[in-house]
Amino acid sequence: MEVKRLAAIDIGSNAMRLLIMNIFETNHQPVFKKASLVRVPVRLGQEVFTKGLIPEEKVQTLITAIKSYQYLMMAFNVIQVKACATSAMREAENGREIVRRIKEETGIEVEIISGRKEADVIYSNHIENLLDQQNSYLYVDVGGGSTEMTLYTKGEPMISRSFKIGTVRVLEGMVTEKMWKSLKKWIKKITADHKPVYLIGSGGNINRLMKMSPVNRKKSATPSMSREQVQTIYKNILAVPFEQRISKFDMNPDRADVIIPASEMLISIMKWSGAKRVYVPQFGLADGLVRELYEEHKAEELVGQD
């Protein structure tokens, strides 16, 4: 059995992540097994959404983190890495300059991707394998700077859209009532003829809510929560002051604040779509990047054999 190690770097608005994955190549299909996940809370979106720029201090933190990622990838004998940046870098006036500097100082090429591309990459995790072909699903990825959504019917993606509504943006007071109304109107419109609809949720905050659910604590084989369960978890978190959330719920400081707007967004989206349950397979952009990189790597191997 051959084992390959591939990696992905996801530079988000709230945090950046390095995912190192073991890929076991069997006679049937590849098996993906996480080897390491390292998260650094850079929160690039904090200044971007208010001032339009990523400050030099955070640029240095970003580059230092990528350099540390390089040493870890060397220790794991990673053969290839793919790096992408999302909402904050898309909107930063100095985003492309930062990408150039990362390339010069680390040799790693970072691609700034669109919201639609972000959704497509996550779809490459083979979401369709999780779906009952008879149901309709609204895929929701709540990030720090944006929320990506795709409606699936009969296992096929029907319509996608990216909204500039994210947890960091909400905390910074950058989401207007008009933006909320636009999101609500769009969700109600696309789901009107697809009842019942279920949610598929991704993103660090939704994954964290899933870990706090009674279903997860019982180690259920079904990674899902009812709307009532999400509301109960949200109320429990909201009842505890910020500083106490860190110790009581074992949260990092940069999770203890954004999880509140993320929970409120998830509950609202469930209400507007009529969804009574959200499935949380607990994968994200980095997982999709690794799978995309694996397909590219296999294609290169086939070309080399010709």
| Structure confidence at residue 18 (pLDDT) | 98
Q: Are 131 and 155 in contact, with CB atoms under 8 Å apart?
A: yes
Tens of pLDDT along 12-49?
Answer: 999 999 999 999 987 778 889 999 999 999 999 989 98
| Structure confidence at residue 154 (pLDDT) | 82
> Percentage of residues in the chain with pLDDT exceeding 70?
92
* Six-digit token string for 179: 């933006």
| Structure confidence at residue 133 (pLDDT) | 74
Q: What is the mean pLDDT of residues 72-91?
A: 95
Tens of pLDDT along 207-254?
Answer: 999 999 886 655 555 588 999 999 999 999 999 999 999 999 999 999
* 2-113+286-305 and 126-282 in the same fold: yes
* Six-digit token string for 80: 């290839």
In which residue are the tokens 């110790």 written?
247
Q: Are 27 and 45 in contact, with CB atoms under 8 Å apart?
A: no
The gap from C-alpha 48 to its chain's centroid, in whole angstroms, comes to 19
In b/e form, how buried is each residue of 96-110, taking b as 16+ CB within 10 angstroms? eebbebbeeebebeb
Tens of pLDDT along 152-187?
Answer: 888 788 898 989 999 999 999 999 999 999 999 999
Helices of type H across 80-217: 87-91, 95-106, 115-123, 167-171, 177-191, 204-212, 214-217
Eight-state DSSP code of residue 94: T
Q: What residue segments make up the domains of the chain, in order of their start? A: 2-113+286-305, 126-282
* CATH class of the 126-282 domain in this structure: alpha beta
| Structure confidence at residue 218 (pLDDT) | 54
Eight-state DSSP code of residue 60: H
* CATH class of the 2-113+286-305 domain in this structure: alpha beta
| Structure confidence at residue 299 (pLDDT) | 76
Q: What is the mean pLDDT of residues 132-146?
A: 88
Walk across the sheet containing 147-153 and list its strands: 156-163, 147-153, 136-142, 197-202, 277-279, 224-226
Measured between its terminal Cα atoms, the distance across the chain in Å is 23
Confidence bin at 286 (pLDDT 50/70/90): very high
Q: What pTM value is reported for the model?
A: 0.85
Tens of pLDDT along 96-117?
Answer: 999 999 999 999 999 999 877 8
| Structure confidence at residue 285 (pLDDT) | 87
Contacts of 123 (CB under 8 A, 6+ apart): 139, 150, 157, 288
